[in-house]
Amino acid sequence: MNAFVNNFHQINPHIDHFLQSTHCQKVWFASHTDTYPENAFLVKFSRIIYVLEGEYRTMIGYQGEHTNIVAKKGEIIFIPSQTWDLPDWHTDCRALTVLFGHYQVGMSLTHSTIDGDKDGKISVNKATINEPLQHEGFYLEKILNDLAISQRPGTAAKCVAEGLLRYCREKTEALIEPAQSATHHKWRAITLYLQKNFGPGITRETVALEYNISPNHLSRLFREEGGLGFNEYLTLVRIDRVKMLLSQYQMSMADIAIRTGFKDCSYLGRVFRRHTGMTLGEYRASYGS
Amino acid sequence: MNKALNIVAVTACSTGIAQTYMAADVLEHCARAKGHTIKVETQGALGVLNPITLSDLSSADLAILTNDVAIDDVDRFHQLKTITVSIDDILTTPQDILDGLLQP
């Protein structure tokens, strides 16, 4: 039924040319604003735009204000989930937008040209990687989100954004390679399961039972496929959720601990500090809205 | 006299970046607010998500399809009463579209 055509053969040469010839120049971070324009693009997943050629004109929330920006070749715009942008296609530009969905990574290569016509002209190639960000890709996107929240992007942002593009480019190659092993699929399915089920009561044993394998087999699967133990992975998922709750909700620390599967607030505090070097309060003070 | 409808829909926009997904959210929200059931398939850069199945089609009263770019596998809907709208219409005046469904 799915005749959706993946245009990697159209998109990849442009990515390769960009990665070989250009170093990322600057990363713009779109920020949340209380209001946004009526036609703004606002979705539940984060997006990143790489300007491959020409100039990309758009409006974003930038340092809290609605701001028209012109991103030149080599510049990058990161738009966290639930943050908006409003591109103006009346410009000569080739840009690659990468969408980080929950279960897929999408690519849209847009080529717009200035044109007398009111609507301009735009040609598009789309392609989908049918798995979410994993391994280094997963962490690189997290870093960009953290940088976006902190609004203190340094030069590191450029390297991270470039790394993320390289990661995605490699993934497109993997799609042409033979299918990945059954164990890898199983590991992937379990990590997806954990990203939704991380609350109290989730343990190595319950997850092993859910997937009908032994707890030891589960541990081996994580070590071999993910390079990260089961408990370490689960803790990362939980800490990640804690960060989100701390920065975006006014929930009490005790509630957060319960919801994210930590046995109490003081235990959460110790684990959080070990992972982030900050206390819960410090994190909320720095990143809270 | 309101009739609860069983709706299937497909959204797709030219760039596949955002409007496809925003329109799906809007349709779901507005249709449910009116007591209809709805399932929206998105055809954007993330591929085909939430695909409309044969059993969805067999229980559907009508289909809403966007016409900004060609919809993949549009033949599926030939047996159904179909309303064709633009993404912009969905995003700006979704209530009008849903109100229009009950007109003869």
Q: Which residues contact B70 (CB under 8 A, 6 or more apart)?
A: B12
Q: Residues A157, A245: one domain?
A: no
Question: Inter-chain contact A2–B19, Cβ cutoff 8 Å?
Answer: no
Same domain, A130 and A21: yes
CB–CB of A280/A272 below 8 Å? Answer: yes
Please identify which of the residues B10, B13, B52, B97 carries the catalytic annotation: B13
- The label of the residue with tokens 């962490």 reads A139
Q: Is residue A2 part of a domain?
A: no
Beta strand A46-62 with A93-100: parallel, antiparallel or unpaired? antiparallel
> Of A129, A150, A176, which residue sits at a domain end?
A176
A158 and A188 inside one domain:
no
Say whether both A144 and A249 belong to one domain. Answer: no
Structural domain boundaries, residue A89 = 8-176
pLDDT in tens, chain B (104 residues): 468 899 999 999 999 999 999 999 999 999 999 999 999 999 999 999 999 988 899 999 999 999 999 998 899 999 899 999 999 999 999 999 998 887 76
A43 CB neighbours in chain B (<8 A) are 18, 21-22
Residues paired with residue A67 on neighbouring β-strands, in sequence order: A60
For chain A, how many structural domains are there in total?
2
Tens-digit pLDDT profile for residues A55-96: 999 999 988 899 999 999 999 999 999 899 999 988 899 999
Among candidate residues A119, A153, A176, the one where a domain is terminated: A176
Confidence (pLDDT) at A120: 55
Chain A residues touching residue B48 (CB < 8 angstroms):
2, 4
- Cα–Cα distance between A278 and A262 in angstroms, integer? 17
Same domain? A162 vs A79: yes
pLDDT of residue A24: 85
**Whether B41 contacts B48, CB under 8 Å:** yes
- The architecture (CATH level 2) of B6-100 comes to 3-Layer(aba) Sandwich (3.40)
- Report the gap between the CA of B36 and the closest CA in chain A (Å): 23
Residue A207 has pLDDT above 90, yes or no: yes
Q: Is residue A228 part of a domain?
A: yes
- Domain end call among A176, A198, A220: A176
